[in-house]
Amino acid sequence: MATRRLPPLRALEAFVRIVRMGSARAAANELGLSPSALSRRVTSLEEFVGKKLFTRAHQAMKLTDDGRAFYEAINPHLEALAQAVEAQSENLQLLRLHLGVSPLFGSQRLFPRLLELRKLHPRLHIDIDTGPNLLGRVGDTLDAAVIVTSDPDDSYYSVRLDHNRVHAICSEALSHEIGLSPDMETLSKQTFLIHNDLPESFEAWKSALGFQALQPAAIDHFDSGQLMLEAAAQGLGIAIMHDDHFRRATGKKLAKLYDIEVESPYSYWFVCRPKALDTRPVKLFHDWMIESGL
């Protein structure tokens, strides 16, 4: 049987790095190449496959439709190759991921699914960090993080995990007391519970009701979504939170105020430094997260 020709592996590596990092400059720096040397490697790959993989303009390289199709075709095989090499390696060390998450995301969404990930990748272990300033520590003490924000900084690789609506959540008893019809006088006598990182959610909810001038009796601020839910369940106030949090808050006697649809200014995002996607632990978690719809 004739031996099939393999593409130039260094050129393939250059191509994959540009796609994953989203920048030819970043890929060149990571590989220790000049921009012209990186371009030559890509050109050799294009000559091998007979297709234009990138358009080039003003020192920028943009993936073509053929380039995107080529990447989607080879990426699963590159992953299988990496797994095969690992399986034959004598150095079977644990793969360690330092991941930052909020306590509420960890308890409601991540931990109920982690056993699936463990069965799929037994060597991947995750150190969980729920401390402050997660985004600022990505690339330093954290490999990656799942954060709630309106729009991550462009210097990070980011994937939006959901689209949310804002709910006003309170105890069932308080819900009955407030009633079904929005009334600004009634709401002005209430305490609202607001997360420190999500101040615009309350403004969005008030605007949807047409109550921009609403001044509640008090606003209590929290840095923990878990404690906000607990405070709401105990009748201590009205928590302004995401619909996803409400759906997953099982076992608590909570109710949603009013039947209104309010788009949230915030979403959960997975973030890491672009070069981190080349590390095995980050890539395994990232791919599982996307495929599983975490």
Residue 95 confidence (pLDDT) above 50: yes
- Identify which has the larger pLDDT, 120 or 75: 120
Residue ending a domain, choose from 67, 88, 109: 88
Q: What is the pLDDT of residue 89?
A: 55
Place of tokens 């992953």: 79
Residue 192 located in a structural domain: yes
What is the number of domains present in the chain?
3
Q: What is the CATH number of the domain that holds 286?
A: 3.40.190.10
Which pLDDT band, with edges at 50, 70 and 90, does 202 fall under? very high
Query: Residue ranges of the alpha helices (H) in the chain?
Result: 9-21, 24-31, 35-49, 65-88, 103-105, 114-120, 134-137, 172-178, 184-187, 199-209, 225-233, 243-248, 280-292
Q: What is the pLDDT of residue 82?
A: 67
pLDDT tens for each residue of 219-278: 999 988 889 999 999 999 999 998 888 888 776 789 999 988 899 989 899 999 988 988
156 lies in the same domain as 192: no
Q: What is the pLDDT of residue 183?
A: 92
51 lies in the same domain as 193: no
281 lies in the same domain as 144: yes
Q: What is the pLDDT of residue 164?
A: 87
Q: Which domain holds residue 179?
A: 166-263
177 lies in the same domain as 252: yes
Mean pLDDT for 26-40 is 81
155 lies in the same domain as 205: no
Mean pLDDT for 174-197 is 93
Residue 3 located in a structural domain: no
122 lies in the same domain as 172: no
Q: What is the pLDDT of residue 78?
A: 75
147 lies in the same domain as 202: no
282 lies in the same domain as 159: yes
141 lies in the same domain as 193: no
- Identify which has the larger pLDDT, 38 or 88: 38
Average pLDDT, the chain: 87
Distance CA 152, CA 288 (A): 21
**Which of 294, 191, 208 minimizes the C-alpha distance to 248?**
294
Which pLDDT band, with edges at 50, 70 and 90, does 212 fall under? very high
Please say whether the beta carbons of 281 and 155 come within 8 A. Answer: no
pLDDT tens for each residue of 52-77: 988 887 667 888 899 889 888 888 77
Lowest mean per-residue pLDDT among 7-11, 167-171, 219-223: 7-11
Q: What is the pLDDT of residue 90?
A: 47
